[in-house]
Amino acid sequence: MTTDARPAHTQSTTHWQRFSVPYEFPVVFTEGVFDPENTALREVLCRYEPAKRHRVVVFVDDGLSAGKPPLVEAINTYAERHRDVIDLACPPVVVPGGEKIKSELHFVEGFQQTLFDLHIDRHSYVIAVGGGAVLDAVGLVASTTHRGVRHIRIPTTVLAQNDSGVGVKNGVNLHGVKNFVGTFAPPFAVLNDLRFIISLPERDKIAGMAEAVKVSLIRDAEFFTWIERHSDELATFERPAMATMIRRCAELHMRQISQGGDPFESGSARPLDYGHWSAHKLESLTRHHLRHGEAVAIGMALDARYSVLAGLLPQGEEERICALLEYLGFELWHPALARTATNGEWVVLEGLKDFQEHLGGELTVTLLAGIGTGVEVHEIDLERMREAMIWLQQRASA
């Protein structure tokens, strides 16, 4: 603390309170996280108090609970096997997977009620096993109950393993705005288990790859070329290629958060959100019929073309990006893009305003100055963006 001593006549004295809190959490890549012999979960639970029996509540995405062998049973067996350190406060709680859990606030309240009923305290653990939506909703509950209960994420989709699960954000939707309510709250640990990806529907396997293309486009040209070279294997979901893609993408996201200088996004930039301003709007416009990754693929194609029109990206590179996305299985147009308001304006363009409002400050959109090089701009020429939309529309109908 420092005291800003001023002459007595000014009457105000300012004491500057300053401290910093180091954050660190393990991101473990494993297989068969609930196999009784696998000690990864046990080890993270015991990180601080190895001799203690830890109280644990597990929330499980219902997209997984139907799998074979039944996941809920596997979690019960795991807890029983490791009962010297795990005290399962109640049987695993199965919760709705997908955007529904983020779009109806009663779910959040219901989970908080569960934690209240079970007398969960700040040294207990709330574990979320599921896709990005379940992680976001349960993460919000964990970070707000008692102002923060230890939270472990076990992401089960490509997107959650390579992007959202290793991040520091959570949130739910309100007033039709994505992630309107949420917190920045680093998890206690993340456990990525590739086996979960096997049961994932193809549509979600494809959707998650959008974030890998995204991070390669803004940060790592070599990774983009790797994705291009392995697009056959990725398009058919071959395991080694999927594993490499997920891990590299997760590493790049982790690096951005730890070394990008603004982990809690207090500035005006959202450096990892290339292609996202229109994607978030499209998700709302389609009432989440489009997956996040599917919308991001369209958003990236749009902003790639805009980058060319703005003279930032060499002509032809946008086609290369679109070709890769399509090869991986994405469609780069959705009818909701063409929706217009009563004044004739494309509704999706409102996404620019929403994007700015989410953070406040100056509008900051990431565009491309080359493959592997993101660049932040603070102005979008709407006429040029309309042109980019028409290009995308014509391309889709060609």
User: Interface residues with ligand NAD (CB under 6 A)?
Assistant: 61-64, 97-99, 102, 130-134, 136, 156-157, 159-160, 163-164, 167, 169-170, 178, 196, 199-200, 204, 207-208, 291-293
Which residue lies nearer to ligand NAD by CB, 237 or 320? 237
Which residue lies nearer to ligand NAD by CB, 198 or 341? 198
Which residue lies nearer to ligand NAD by CB, 163 or 228? 163
Q: How far is the CB of 49 from ligand NAD (least distance, A)?
A: 28
Q: How far is the CB of 48 from ligand NAD (least distance, A)?
A: 25
288 with 279: CB under 8 angstroms? no
Question: Rounded distance, CA 227 to CA 325, Å?
Answer: 10
Q: How far is the CB of 11 from ligand NAD (least distance, A)?
A: 45
Which residue lies nearer to ligand NAD by CB, 180 or 393? 180
Amino acid in the structure at residue 304 = A
By Cβ distance, which residue is nearest to ligand NAD?
97
271 with 374: CB under 8 angstroms? yes
Q: How far is the CB of 322 from ligand NAD (least distance, A)?
A: 21
Q: How far is the CB of 305 from ligand NAD (least distance, A)?
A: 23
Q: How far is the CB of 71 from ligand NAD (least distance, A)?
A: 9
Two tokens, residue 272 = 């990892």
Which residue lies nearer to ligand NAD by CB, 61 or 220? 61
Which residue lies nearer to ligand NAD by CB, 336 or 388? 336
Q: Whose structure tokens read 């809690």?
A: 264
**Residue 288 φ/ψ, nearest 5 degrees:** 65, 20
Which residue lies nearer to ligand NAD by CB, 141 or 200? 200
Which residue lies nearer to ligand NAD by CB, 99 or 317? 99
Q: How far is the CB of 395 from ligand NAD (least distance, A)?
A: 25
Question: Rounded distance, CA 208 to CA 289, Å?
Answer: 15
Q: How far is the CB of 252 from ligand NAD (least distance, A)?
A: 14
